[in-house]
Amino acid sequence: MSGQASTSTDPPSATVQPGRGKVKLPDNYTGNHIESQKFMLQCLLLFAAESDRYKTDQDKISLVLSCMRYGTARAWAENFLLKSVGVDPPTDLGTWMNFLAKFKLQFRETGKTDKAQSALMAFSQGQMTVDEYSNQFILIAADANIFDKEQVPYFQYGLDLCVMDKIYDKEVQPKDTIQDWINTACEIDGRLRARTAQKAILANSTSFRNDYLNCFHTQPAIRYNSTNAPRKMNNQVVDMDIDATRKYNTESQKRKFDGKRTTSCSNCGKLGHSSANCWSARRGVQPV
């Protein structure tokens, strides 16, 4: 690294030439904190696309260091090599995870980290499944530079209370790793949601069963009479309506013994005599 002398602190406009494959090499990194995440994502994309070429941690670290040749990034890369392997040609650069942690610690975007930590504290499961919650949680925690065991308290804080209660009721508690907590929470959340769906199905089926049986319950018999009987019952005998009986023709009730209809007076309206034999004053005739 030190043999590549350069007094310029600005990178050239051209980037490193693409290697084999369809994914180009990352842009030269100068140490700009705002660009650190973009640079690292380019590196990770290259590792995924050409996994046969970047198999070991040494291959990955070497690629990142080779792109840190300008500005404060160059000074940090040289310092890393001196502390890690001394002045001799590098033979062991350490693990990729250790290198990545040091890189993020040095070039993290401070303002973004603070915002991510605040967002992590306010983040909760809500109506999401644990699987959805955990996926978003990991992304926010990564932006906040919080990893593995340090993530567990934040993850617990945002979990649904019912899920947390079920976890604490277990005889064997999950290990103190974020992945174990996620696996346990996903399992319990799945069971709770399945049971809730089962209860809903049972409730609906019970309601349907009751409605179905109600169709066959004995209904009070309808009492038909001469006024409300259906047309199809016209030729059948039905009970006489009480009101109709009371309203039976008065004239028919007062027939004479011989069965003849009684005479009604057209003058006074009384029965038993005609208007010719009426003793009442004639209608429309003034008394003398």
pLDDT in tens, 175-212: 888 899 999 999 999 999 998 888 888 877 766 666 66
Residues of the chain with pLDDT under 50: 1-8, 13-20, 238, 242, 256-257, 288
pLDDT at 140: 85
At 28 the pLDDT is 92
Tokens for 61, please give them: 């670290």
Read off the pLDDT of residues 96-131 as tens digits, 9 standing for 90 and up.
Answer: 888 988 898 888 776 766 777 888 888 999 889 999
Nearest in space to 77 (alpha carbons), one of 88, 64, 87, 90: 64
Give the list of residues 6+ apart from residue 36 with CB closer than 8 angstroms, or none.
Answer: 29, 103, 104, 107, 108, 109
pLDDT at 24: 86
Q: Is the pTM of this model over 0.85?
A: no
Coil, helix or strand at residue 225: strand
Show the CA angle centred on residue 74, arms to residues 23 and 107, nearest 5°.
75
Burial class (CB in 10 A: 0-12, 13-18, 19+), 182: buried
Predicted confidence at residue 7, as pLDDT, reads 45
Give the tokens for residue 195: 């049971």
pLDDT of res. 68: 94
CB 53 within 8 A of CB 22: no
DSSP 129: -
- Residues 6 or more apart whose Cβ sits within 8 Å of residue 227: 241, 244
Residue 145 backbone zone (phi > 0: left; psi -120 to 50: alpha; other: beta): left
What pLDDT is recorded for position 121? 86
Residues 278, 267 contacting (CB under 8 angstroms): yes
Burial grade of 30 (CB within 10 A; 0-12, 13-18, 19 or more): middle
